[in-house]
Chain A
Amino acid sequence: MALLRKKSQTIDNKKPGLFTRLRERLSKSRSALADGLSGVFQAGRKIDATLVEELEELLLMADAGIEATERILADLRKQSDIKGATDASGLYDPLKQAMLDIIAPRAQPLQIPEHPARPFVILTVGVNGVGKTTTIGKLAHQLTQQGHSVMIAAGDTFRAAAIEQLQHWGERVGVRVVAQQHGADAAAVAHDAIQAASAQNCDVVIVDSAGRQHTHHDLMEELKKIKRVIGKLDETAPHEVLMVLDAGTGQNALSQLRHFNEAVGVTGLTLTKLDGTAKGGILFAIAMTTEIPIRFIGVGEGVEDLRRFDAAEFVDAIVG
């Protein structure tokens, strides 16, 4: 982990604009929660039942879900009792702490060994339209920048022109894309790519997969097959099953995660489209129900717009 940090720091140093850009991206849209809180946590306001109710509503409106909201409120109550807070403006820090307590344990960056003996295989999964292909493009770029050699498998053989979309990304970030024709067997594409990567001593293979509704039994079976075939080449692979989630998703995200996890064992999450007004409060609901690590956030469509998930930064962005 230390290694990864150091590496990304060197990149940051080379490109001082990166963090500014992130901040700019994240703050371009103030979160609705932040807006609401500035009304609720006004200096001089008393802490009473009405205030708690308003706060509850704000959290629910941020997609935090009922369970996480109740837990945050309970923590907040405890904290303000201990500290004897009477003024609403004193609640900012306890609120942030309560949210951090839920989400911080999930902030575990993806660790890729420097030069693995066999390719480190990342399988990306998710429902339609969450941004899997774009995330892969950005991730390939980031890993290349960190000094890894990367290959991409165009495993979405269903959606029209998904392969071409990925090939565009490959050209843009200078990464080889292994592809077959539209309609080909996705598992075979993954198999070919991993074989090619092994032959060429490539460090990382990122396997794309078609977006699918988690409730479609057959499509989930197909995904299981992709994973099985990957495992045949290397029983430790895939080393990461990365599920991509749209920040705008509501409570259905829990169902998505449960189904994908049951089918292929999700080992990491990426939250995309955080540059909109949705701030991904659903992560709190998710953190309440699973211990799956959160790896990355997507903050735009540019190559640089994929960032390591940082819990404090995330909470700051959502609370304002």
Chain B
Amino acid sequence: MFEQLRDRLGDTLTRLRGRGRLTEENIAEGLREVRMALLEADVALPVAKSFIEHVRERAVGQEVLHSLNPAQAVIKIVNDELIALMGEHNDALNLAARPPVVILMAGLQGSGKTTSVAKLARFLREREKKQVLVVSADIYRPAAIEQLARLAHDIGVDFFPSTVEQKPLEIAQAAIDEARRRALDVVIIDTAGRLHIDDEMMAEIKALHGAVDPVETLFVVDSMTGQDAVNTAQAFNAALPITGVILTKTDGDARGGAALSVRHVTGKPIKFLGIGEKTDALEPFFPDRVASRILGMGDVVSLVEEVERASDKEKTERLAAKLKKGKGFDLEDFRDQLAQIERMGGLSGLMDKLPGMGGMPAMQDQTAARETGKLIAIINSMTPRERRYPDMIRASRKRRIAAGSGTRVQDVNRLLKQFAQMQKMMKRMGKGGMAKMARSLQGKLPGMPF
């Protein structure tokens, strides 16, 4: 998401370099570009306009600080405003209410409600240690109930059975009763996708909401949505007291302007991002991180957190200590990292978060989970000495390693090359920390003027 916006902004704003003070004139052109970029990113026009106005008001007349050039100053304002627009911090789900906590899902057809129910159930079970019951009140779409039943089974959370002969209201109430009887923590109610202009269906979900009185009512919206996001969000928000938004399918290349639009018209926080097809691909939404991703500052904070969660902390700390002491990063460390990456769902998700690595297609291509497994197999076929001193791996050793790991010599070569790149990166990280690495990387990558 958002990479192109960043590039576009970059081009225009570099031209502002070397001017001492931001004036109405010298930022006008930049802001026009910002407007176009926002529209191309599917930010709804009224939202884009009000956003630009805010930036203009704040920018005009501002002194450009010593440490920044004018372009950076504008970027900073745009960044601050983006964060302000998306909400300052992450709003977690309200789970403190008296159990069972009821969560109601709502949204258009195909926005990803059922998948999100499963992801959310898994998230609550694994991270919040909650006992979750899921139920489908979608009596319209063929096999919708079946779909949730399967997903619930796969992730191992309780599923409350329902049939298309029942009324959505009956289904929801029976599920809540069941949860109460069994003293479960959370009930997530999936509902049929509906058009916001379908009065009958909107009346149905209003009645459902009134009867079950959910603690959280989550509006599920597709990140690929265009300008119409404003209309649907407005209508759903008017019909239901929405408490938060789940933005789905953010693993594609949509620029995600819908996020800004929905947030702006509803005033409700985006609480989660759907980031992939699997049931663990759900991430809490942090506005500041997404804003800096837009502007190419990377997403170091969430990367660090994810590494901590998915991996053993001890190994990470040992590596950090080793790097600090200036000791080398060897193939053993590389293997540890690959194993962690595998647990985190592949390299491409990770690369996106590293500063300046947003758009590295060559590396992303080699990132499929399969590929990671292969790399680990290759390293496993090396002797400990080879892992510590990869330079000693010449032709005959390569042949042996390839044979041992069921790969080809080309694969071994590629691994060694990747490792060399990684080692270089790690050296920099050891010397100057993340920030310095980010700067040096960005300077080298095309299309990134800062």
Chain A residues packing against B (C-beta within 8 Å): 28-29, 32, 57, 60-63, 65-66, 127-131, 158-162, 164-165, 167-169, 172, 182, 212-218, 246, 248-253, 255-256, 273, 275-278, 281-282, 301
Contact = CB atoms under 8 A, between A and B. Distances in A.
Contacts of B368: 217-218
Nearest to B41: A251
B142 interface: yes
A168 B164 CA distance: 13
B142 A250 contact: no
B226 A63 contact: yes
Given A130-B110, A249-B226, A60 B39 contact: yes
B141 A278 contact: no
Contacts of A128: 110, 112, 249, 277
Contacts of A255: 252-254
How many B residues touch the partner, as a band?
35 or more
B190 interface: no
B228 interface: yes
B224 interface: yes
Given A165-B143, A213-B249, A252 B110 contact: no
B365 interface: yes
A103 B42 CA distance: 21
A131 B231 CA distance: 20
Contacts of A182: 150
Interface in B245-297: 249, 251-255, 257-258, 277
Given A131-B110, A167-B143, A276-B232, 13 more contacts: A61-B227, A66-B36, A127-B252, A165-B144, A213-B277, A214-B252, A217-B368, A246-B110, A248-B229, A250-B226, A252-B254, A273-B109, A277-B197
A252 B231 CA distance: 18
Given A61-B45, A215-B252, A252-B253, A160 B142 contact: no
B225 A250 contact: yes
Interface of B: 36, 39-42, 44-45, 108-112, 140-144, 146-151, 154, 195-197, 222, 224-229, 231-232, 249, 251-255, 257-258, 277, 364-365, 368, 370
A158 B277 contact: yes
Nearest to B40: A251
Contact of B42 (A168, A212, A250, A273): A250
20 contacts: A28-B197, A60-B39, A129-B110, A129-B222, A129-B249, A159-B147, A165-B142, A165-B144, A217-B365, A248-B108, A248-B226, A249-B225, A250-B42, A251-B226, A276-B195, A277-B197, A278-B231, A281-B226, A281-B227, A301-B140
Contacts of B229: 248, 250
A165 B227 CA distance: 30
Contacts of B149: 161
A259 to B, nearest CB: 9
Contacts of B151: 160
A179 to B, nearest CB: 12
